[in-house]
Structure 1
């Protein structure tokens, strides 16, 4: 029962209900529009009216594409305005730019430190530089200071205090300038930022220049704060900068990054060490009356921590954990530890905050200390708790107990129930301990367990997102994997762990060569789906070297074939063909006919893009014959689609239709709904070219249905483009405009360059 007020509102909710049923339910409506199921449900049940500036524009784009015979509504704009009027809402406010309502504002700041102390002058200066900039340029500040002085804490503190100033969101990236695993590159950061604004990075050209330019376009006119943490050099920053003066950029670095000041007008904010009074305040927050102003042991302790918040917190928590031990004992012990420290190669250990980390490490219970040491084996500063359990050789419950102790000691930070973060100084110290000669054997075992965790969890994730794909037979392992129940959970885990896995593929240890290429191979399905092409190429280039060094020709062949696909997706077909031909020769030598067929199909895709359709057909037919012999139905469906597309391009309409229909039907039978949608779209354009408008319309509608089942949007947009072309061929300009308007909105939201084609079609329509 609805709670509608007037007649217009009752009609509106009933029409939305009919539309949702026509689309196949709330989930389909949500997938097509990007608006949540709950909003659609409330709209059809009469519980709420969609918001004019946020949810209604995307919903309207979907509703306008449904025939009026279904919805009983000729003009959605008119009906919606009547609903607003009847409900007493204002109807004269201007509609915001589409880019401003594409998605919810991202808020990516990680948690700040506990017990923030001081920095009033620096916070005030950041206010002047970023919250109220004086000119029309980009407001940018570089927070700089020595390691452990609290640069990140200051940046996060200011950003959280001024979050309301940036109504369109906060983007954050740790660029890992001094990380054990090496600095992050802009290519790693941009895909996540684009997704945060509702853009599918797979639809944006892969090169850094294009993605950087797209980010600037996306941020134009928005009030967004960009926080770039732990920056090593200017080259990391420049591709991530906005052009709009409405945005602000906050950078932290051990260096002053004068290039940003010279080229972009950045202002430097220097972070000094804490004063003795501020250091005392921080210690008192943790230790209370155990520290007294003017007392010798307190003064000595403060002096030994050198005004660094990181060392003060570590020392305070170590002291706090032993309430019965006099403070003087800790002071003397810390002095002794400085003198005997040998693991750190530093001329003046007293000036290195890792010395305090070492002292705290020595105070840990043996089993907790071992877990801490093993963290140095993980290349990333962010670590999944299950990965910690694997690398430490303990169960998850034990790992969690150990990590809670380390969190209290400020040696790690528990970000949620699944992950921890390490300060790069702490991580580097743990890595130096792990790599010391005394730890060589246990570290090797720990590194093997870490690979086993990622291999087996990635294999589980791959099964969820690509259930019909060829599987590697991995060696058995006693390491516990992360529990993943759905493809969404699998994709989320892969998104989060990707940088660590790519870094593992790059680790140059001969004993791990097999694991390196296998891990890269298992990531191929994820790479193909999300088009993380930079990481795809990088991981597989390392994997090829690993397979070659180990003499594993099958591993080399499979890795080269996947590397060729990555180069093809990046647009370098010459590099792709070079890899395919080496792989084909290896598969032929090994008698692996399935792998041999795969390289033929890959080469056919290159020929198809080059316009060499006859050669593409020859290669696909050869591959198809082998696939039918071995019975790999997934590959049969995909190859049939490629074959049909080539035949369609040559005008072989009958055989093209036969093969595309076979591909669509087999894909649907196998649950490969995205592939079914692609084949259906191919059929739609084929039928349209041969003048079968009605059949083309049915094929495009079929593509929309299949794409909705896959959870996708891109093939739906392509089908709407096709439906618009069908309408135009029949002289139905208004209907064509509706389809193209809806397609354009979806493609723009995804950031697809195909939007330009639809925009051009819309512009070419004659006025009614």
Structure 2
């Protein structure tokens, strides 16, 4: 029996391949063709792993288009998949072209994905450390000939300049690591919240291009995903301020193309012994280098008073942090001789020596801190102590004004003095940061703790409220009460939307830290309030890791305070946490939280909360295919809103009920519901939800073959969601436009809407929308005769539905796969997939069952 000739993969136009996604499509087509030609099943990831010795996980990433295979692996892979010699050459060229695009400088037209460039700026006046730099260079050169990842650890006491050295060396190496640099301050010695390995991995994974909703929940899975994303990349990873081996081990790449640079006060002996890390121990500066550092900061006065300069070095014990602070104090007092400054510092050191028996460089740090602190003005000294209480890493002048209970102008003057004294460092965008040693010392100087932190939490709750009110003015109902008793120093009465976005973006890390801090330290009502304030911002912006952190903390806080103000908000924060699970496609977990929220609202007699919970339960039932339960719950919610004369809530339920009618094939009823919802939201002035209602109405009109009206409504939806800064709404409208254009036979125009809609759905991690767009893309590609990508999209949709439990889209993807196999002449596969699709559609009692039944009957004949 003769073998089937191998058909070329010219349909992929390899000369036009521009992205890793294009290249992955070609690899998957090779895999399918290999199965057809050989008469066997497609090579599984595990089979390919057995033949290559690579992990099956990384093979999956190569074929999914998430990781570009290194050149040598790519050549092996395409040969295993049966590429002809001519195809091997064309594919190799295409792969190199993709890599060139990926390596293009950030911001250039060729670069489709921004590479991470996380390194902070170098410290001014770096001096010395020649021996340590030579050691680091030698380690890197030896490691470049080895097969293991290169790990360099810089160890030393606090304030000795570990981070300064690490950043100086890292900036010298950027050309050797063109795929980017990852940096994270692990805050290993932070008194409140060191960065956990799990949180660190989530940040890195998102920086490497994975959508927030695709970040695995389990620590081991996150570590594996991180290693997979780094495979074959030449990247530098700087892990700053690590507490020990356990904090950094999960953050180590698995590829020799990466360099890991770690700073820690710990000697990291376990990492040296097990992972082969090379440690560089950092000591205090010798006299010559220490004087050079003083000269870089102070200038000519060092050479004018060499003995006093050397005395200052000895008093600071050669410790760079102490030297910088002392030098800045000298700069701030140009009329004071260095000899006078040294005398004052000797007096302070003598006082502290009587209180400490350590007699080491740490005493020098405290003496410099204490001396600098006493030389501050009264206002700056108070500000210094208060800033040590701040739970976040960075802060701004309004944070200080809140802590001090003063005006922003006074806070600015104190910040300026602290920056000049090198007790506070600018962090960009109007934010400031403080060395962790200084933070600990500063907290010791604060006379009070409870009152300043309460003012800070009040400031953040009020500012966040003003920001979300500017963006989502119709979402105010149902929030837990905000507990503030102090006014925020920020003028928030007329905050503009652009100002609101800017404030939320720059302060989001602090909002998360404050929610965690307040839950653990006796402010549970503030945690609950922050959850209620921020849920919509997190949802619309796709900030799901932050949302999980805040809402989980709020649930814990509310449960810990059942009789207090926080306990009254338990049902609301349970629903907020359920919303995150819903958006990420974890429908069962979402339903559990919504049902518990419903019980809580009913027990407290909160009918508005009861209506919201019923509505959320209803939309989950719709997504899970239980349309009867969905209608019942949504109608109950609608009745409650109508009884309360809440037209906003009524409009939302009209949208939800219309969606159920559309799913059941009642297109006229769906349109009636959505027409009324559009009218309600237009009268209420809620452009965002008017956009959602118009988008649904457009979908109804499209199914009723009223195509021009459908496009009008969908364009209206797109404009209003864009104006409301709602990317999920924009993507939904674009997907709707694409679906209508597909029905009209305008396939290329449909793709122009669907492809960006898919990208946005992945960026925002809206699983339901992603699944719908994938299926619509599959239908469009099939209509255009591009069967391989059509099959890819339907299979991707099927994989998502198997994770989320969405039966309608699961059946739709099975139907799409069957139709694609039918066009390819693979009737056995077509019939099998149609049988599965029909069983689901029949169970759901939706009209799509008729078409599948007819196709199956025709295929049987």
Q: TM-score, normalised by structure 2?
A: 0.68
Deviation (angstroms), 1:619: 1.2
Question: Aligned equivalents of 2:775 and 2:611: distance in 1?
Answer: 35
Name the counterpart of 1:640: 654
> Structure 1 residue aligned with 2:381, among 351, 359, 369?
369
Question: Aligned equivalents of 1:695 and 1:98: distance in 2?
Answer: 41
**Range with bigger deviation, 211-220 or 655-664:** 211-220
2:471 touches 2:724 (CA, 8 Å); kept in 1?
no
Give the secondary-structure state (helix, strand or coil) at the position aligned to 2:284. Answer: coil
> Structure 1 residue aligned with 2:240, among 229, 237, 260?
229
Give the secondary-structure state (helix, strand or coil) at the position aligned to 1:326. Answer: helix
Name the counterpart of 2:444: 432
Deviation (angstroms), 1:742: 5.2
> Structure 1 residue aligned with 2:573, among 552, 559, 584?
559
Question: Aligned equivalents of 1:678 and 1:214: distance in 2?
Answer: 35
Name the counterpart of 2:62: none
1:547 touches 1:555 (CA, 8 Å); kept in 2?
no
Name the counterpart of 1:400: 412
Trace 1:511-530 onto structure 2 (pairs within 5 A): 512-530=523-541
2:524 touches 2:554 (CA, 8 Å); kept in 1?
no
Name the counterpart of 1:481: 490
The structure whose Rg is larger is 2
What are the ranges of 5 or more consecutive residues in structure 1 without an aligned counterpart?
1-51, 58-92
> Structure 2 residue aligned with 1:182, among 187, 193, 198?
193
Partner deviation per Cα, 1:604-659 (whole Å, 9 max, x = no partner): 23323333221122111111122223343433333323222333333443333332
CA RMSD, Structure 1 to Structure 2 (Å): 4.1
Question: Aligned equivalents of 1:280 and 1:447: distance in 2?
Answer: 40
1:122 corresponds to 2:132: yes
Name the counterpart of 2:370: 358
Cα pair distance change 1:221/1:719, threshold 3 Å? farther
Higher relative contact order, structure no. (Cα contacts within 8 Å, ≥ 6 residues apart): 1
> Structure 2 residue aligned with 1:386, among 388, 398, 409?
398
1:317 corresponds to 2:328: yes
> Structure 1 residue aligned with 2:122, among 108, 112, 116?
112
Deviation (angstroms), 1:378: 0.6
Name the counterpart of 1:458: 464
Cα pair distance change 1:187/1:454, threshold 3 Å? farther
Give the secondary-structure state (helix, strand or coil) at the position aligned to 2:449. Answer: helix
Question: Aligned equivalents of 2:670 and 2:244: distance in 1?
Answer: 53
1:172 corresponds to 2:172: no
Partner deviation per Cα, 1:510-562 (whole Å, 9 max, x = no partner): 76343332233222222222333332333323431454252555333333332
1:553 touches 1:586 (CA, 8 Å); kept in 2?
no
Question: Aligned equivalents of 1:682 and 1:376: distance in 2?
Answer: 51
Question: Aligned equivalents of 2:277 and 2:780: distance in 1?
Answer: 43
Cα pair distance change 1:202/1:675, threshold 3 Å? farther
1:174 touches 1:228 (CA, 8 Å); kept in 2?
yes
Question: Aligned equivalents of 1:385 and 1:427: distance in 2?
Answer: 16
Cα pair distance change 1:566/1:209, threshold 3 Å? farther
Cα pair distance change 1:213/1:742, threshold 3 Å? farther
**Range with bigger deviation, 586-595 or 250-259:** 250-259
Partner deviation per Cα, 1:338-358 (whole Å, 9 max, x = no partner): 22447xxx8567535345323
Deviation (angstroms), 1:426: 0.7
Deviation (angstroms), 1:424: 0.7
Name the counterpart of 1:492: 502
1:386 touches 1:482 (CA, 8 Å); kept in 2?
no
Name the counterpart of 2:613: 599
Deviation (angstroms), 1:454: 0.9
How many residues align structurally? 673
Trace 1:528-543 onto structure 2 (pairs within 5 A): 528-530=539-541, 531=544, 532-543=546-557
Question: Aligned equivalents of 2:595 and 2:522: distance in 1?
Answer: 28
Name the counterpart of 1:87: none
Name the counterpart of 2:558: 544
Question: Aligned equivalents of 1:535 and 1:649: distance in 2?
Answer: 34
Question: Aligned equivalents of 2:583 and 2:659: distance in 1?
Answer: 18
Question: Aligned equivalents of 1:360 and 1:565: distance in 2?
Answer: 50
1:141 touches 1:266 (CA, 8 Å); kept in 2?
yes
Cα pair distance change 1:720/1:552, threshold 3 Å? closer
Deviation (angstroms), 1:142: 2.8
Cα pair distance change 1:103/1:135, threshold 3 Å? same
> Structure 2 residue aligned with 1:420, among 398, 414, 432?
432
1:389 touches 1:399 (CA, 8 Å); kept in 2?
yes
2:242 touches 2:264 (CA, 8 Å); kept in 1?
yes
1:617 touches 1:646 (CA, 8 Å); kept in 2?
yes
**Range with bigger deviation, 306-315 or 691-700:** 691-700
Trace 1:585-596 onto structure 2 (pairs within 5 A): 585-596=599-610
Trace 1:67-106 onto structure 2 (pairs within 5 A): 94=97, 101-106=111-116
Question: Aligned equivalents of 2:651 and 2:362: distance in 1?
Answer: 64
Q: TM-score, normalised by structure 1?
A: 0.75
Deviation (angstroms), 1:388: 0.9
Question: Aligned equivalents of 2:488 and 2:427: distance in 1?
Answer: 23
Question: Aligned equivalents of 1:199 and 1:673: distance in 2?
Answer: 31
2:461 touches 2:484 (CA, 8 Å); kept in 1?
no
1:536 touches 1:566 (CA, 8 Å); kept in 2?
no
Cα pair distance change 1:102/1:138, threshold 3 Å? farther
**Range with bigger deviation, 614-623 or 542-551:** 542-551
Deviation (angstroms), 1:386: 0.7
